[in-house]
Amino acid sequence: MVDREAARERVLDAAQELFYSRGIQAVGMDAVRNASGVSLKRLYQLFPSKEALVLEFLQQRDSRWQRALADYVEAQPTPEERIAAVFDWLHKWFCEPDYRGCAFINSFGELGAVSPEVAEQAQHHKRAFHDYLARLVKASGRPAKLADQLALLAEGAITTAAIFGTPEIAHQARDAACLLMHTHLGPDLPELRR
Helix axes 103-111, 50-73, angle to 10 degrees: 150
Count of Cβ atoms closer than 10 Å to residue 105 Cβ: 17
According to DSSP, residue 1 is labeled: -
pLDDT score of 116: 97
For 98-155, how does the pLDDT look when each residue is reduced to its tens digit (9 = 90+)?
Answer: 999 999 999 999 999 999 999 999 999 999 999 999 999 999 999 999 999 999 999 9
pTM flag (> 0.85): yes
**16 within 8 A of 61, measured Cβ to Cβ:** yes
For 94-109, how does the pLDDT look when each residue is reduced to its tens digit (9 = 90+)?
Answer: 999 999 999 999 999 9
